[in-house]
Structure 1
Amino acid sequence: MNLLIDGLTKTYDNGVKALNGVSLTIEPGLFGLLGPNGAGKSSLMRTIATLQLPDQGRIVMQDVNGQDIDVLTQPDELRKILGYLPQDFGVYPRIDAVTLLDHLAVLKGIHNGKERKEVVETLLQRVNLWEARKKNLSGYSGGMRQRFGIAQALLGNPKLIIVDEPTAGLDPAERNRFLNLLAGLGQEAIVILSTHIVEDVQELCAQMAIINKGTVLLSGHPLDAVQMVQGVIWKKSVAPGDLDLMHRMYAVINDRMVAGQPMVYVYATSQPAPGFVRVEAGLEEVYFTEITDAENRYHAQRTVPIPAL
């Protein structure tokens, strides 16, 4: 079972090109889709989830038994095996979890009352909401709502599960609980995790891609990606007034405050200057290297030469 995405393009009516020839092959397990806000992640998720059509390209759910589903021409067939948790998951706040999940199970096609009761109870226990099952969703924390969102996404035993920015806004404890839940789901299905949080992908996923401005910059195994930048990332603590100079002189991929002092991270094949220390690279360094390089190329393409007088 694989999900094949081939040459997807999508331009909205306002002229924004959200997807630019996206091609990916996603195998069972957790697949991390990384990118900044506005990179095209949600557009890709909505297209896979049959909520919008692309301008070009195709999506095929390849079944090991030869029962392939063309997602764009057979959306109803995909919806039978799809679980989807969008970035903004709305709930009816004055309804308890059992009642709402039962209602959603009916909409999913589970009409037998006994079967539906068993499914609802099993899912609420699985996402650790059984003790709060009679509580109105208005009283749920952010993490509890996200876990309820996963419960509704699991109705019908889906083979493809899409979660869009699921840990944004969660506290560390809730985030860990939610990530552990996702890790378990990856044992049974294709789970696509769309996020801008690098740690989520590094901790969970054996497959990943980085996307920006609708273009796939890199795809593969996170460890292979990290190996590509091992030994070529350097850091140095600098004075606040020197940040602009650092950006002009070096290939800075990131800068951030560390203990109240700016720290710059630079891509270089050898020590850029005295005081720079080589960094043990991780997925975060891969991410910033790819995004920075893509942004530089994008701005270079948009630069209009000044004609000679």
Structure 2
Amino acid sequence: MQLIIQSLSKTYSNGVQALKNINLTINSGMFGLLGPNGAGKSSLMRTIATLQEPDAGSITLGTIDVLSQKEAVRKTLGYLPQEFGVYPKISAEDLLSHLAVLKGISNSRERKDLVTSLLHKTNLYNDRKKHLSGYSGGMKQRFGIAQALLSNPKLIIVDEPTAGLDPAERNRFLNLLGELGEETIVILSTHIVEDVKELCTDMAIINKGEVLMQGSPLKALQELQGKIWSKRVDKGETESYKSRFNVISDKLVAGKPTLHVYAPAQPEPGFEQVQPDLEDVYFSYIFGRQPQLSTL
């Protein structure tokens, strides 16, 4: 199954153009959608999830026209938005069972077996009787995945799922996502590069409503080979280097800025060529290149 997005555009009433002629083809498996806050990721996810209408363009999921067959989409969609509410004074087990009824699972035996299976899958079974108000952020996210899996979806959308999670909860959540079936399209929308690096075999980078690249992380890294240069500089020199070179990132290492520069050859003596990582790929498109679609 494929999710095909063609020429998708959206401008809000306040004049903000959130999506600008988006074109993406997404296959089964984990797909990472990377971009800074405000890049248009959530607008794209809400449109795919039938929560808002675009101004132009089309979306198809297999044989389903997403924009005109909304009920058909919702029957095969699992959606975990960036922020979602839960009833605080109800247990995870009871709420999941209630949501299963709303999904049309009326047989009590079937429903109980499904709820039990999902609670085990999300590692919440031992806390199934606890009120959701007592759940940590990571536990609530795992509950969100449990409810998203109720209808055995063919498309799962998770929007900024690890923001605010501590490292242990983040690892549990990413492991859970990684175990989802190969026949399912899972879109992971995030600004956290490490989430995509660890999970996804295909990805896209979006900024200011435009897709800057789509391809495999491995090919994106290969394309940067020999083009990332690093140098430690004094704090007062950073702006001078930024004015002269294509600096894609700078971070403090042991109190001194370390610059990464995107260049086809050594910018000047003192720069060392380094192995690119996915963070370099991300920053090279966000900060180091002119906006243009690259397919890798």
- Give the structure-2-normalised TM-score: 0.96
Aligned length: 292
Matched, 1:35 2:30: no
Q: Secondary structure at the match of 1:185?
A: coil
Match of 1:234 among 229, 232, 244: 229
Amino acid at match of 2:267: P
The verdict on how the C-alpha distance between 1:90 and 1:175 changes in structure 2, with shifts beyond 3 A counting, is same
Q: Distance in 2 between matches of 1:297 and 1:27?
A: 24
Corresponding residue SS for 1:281: coil
Identify the match of residue 191 of structure 1 among 186, 190, 208: 186
SS of match in other structure, 1:170: coil
Which residue of structure 1 aligns with residue 25 of structure 2?
Answer: 25
C-alpha displacement at 1:268, in angstroms?
A: 1.3
2:30 match: secondary structure: strand
Of the three residues 245, 249, 257, the one matched with 1:250 is 245
Structure 1 residue 155 and structure 2 residue 147: aligned? no
Out of 214, 233, 239, which is 1:219 matched to? 214
Structure-2 separation of matches of 1:115 and 1:171: 35
Alignment gaps of 5+ in structure 1: 63-67, 299-309
Q: Distance in 2 between matches of 1:168 and 1:218?
A: 23
Separation of aligned partners in 2, 1:91 and 1:45: 20
Unaligned runs of 5+ in 2: none
- Aligned equivalents of 2:260, 2:229: Cα separation in 1: 6
Question: What secondary structure sits across from 2:211 in the alignment?
Answer: strand
1:83 to 2:85 alignment: no
| 2:91 is the counterpart of 1:105 | no
The residue type paired with residue 29 of structure 1 is: G
| 1:184 partner amino acid | E
Matches within 5 A, 1:165-204: 165-204=160-199
SS, match of residue 179 in structure 2: helix
Rounded Cα–Cα distance in structure 1 between residues aligned with 2:265 and 2:119: 54
Aligned partners of 1:82 and 1:160 also within 8 Å: yes
Q: Structure 1 CA distance, aligned partners of 2:60 and 2:174? A: 27
Q: Is residue 246–residue 288 contact of structure 2 (8 Å, CA) maintained in 1?
A: no
Distance of 1:187 and 1:172 partners within structure 2: 26
Report if the CA contact (8 A) 1:30-1:186 is conserved.
no
Q: In structure 2, what residue type is equivalent to 1:44?
A: L
User: Which is further off, 285-294 or 22-31?
Assistant: 285-294
Pick from 93, 111, 116 the counterpart of residue 116 of structure 1. Answer: 111
Q: CA deviation at 1:25?
A: 0.6
Instruction: Give 4+ residue runs of structure 1 displaced > 3 Å after superposition.
Output: none
Change (3 A) 1:187 1:287: same
Q: What value does the CA root-mean-square deviation take over the aligned residues?
A: 1.2
Equivalent position SS for 2:187: strand
- Offset at residue 297 of structure 1 (A): 5.9
| Secondary structure in 2 matching 1:110 | coil
DSSP 3-state at the match of 1:125? helix
For 1:306, the equivalent position in structure 2 comes to: none
Match in the other structure for 1:7:
7
What is the TM-score normalised by the length of structure 1?
0.92
Distance change in 2, residues 1:113/1:297 (3 Å): closer
Change beyond 3 A, Cα 1:186–1:290: farther
Whether the 8 Å contact between 2:142 and 2:173 is mirrored in structure 1 is yes
Quote how far apart the aligned CAs of 1:274 are. Answer: 2.0
Q: Which secondary structure state, in structure 1, belongs to the residue aligned with residue 287 of structure 2?
A: helix
What does residue 302 of structure 1 align with? none
Aligned-pair identity in percent equals 65
Q: Give the whole-Å Cα distance in 1 for the aligned partners of 2:140 and 2:148.
A: 12
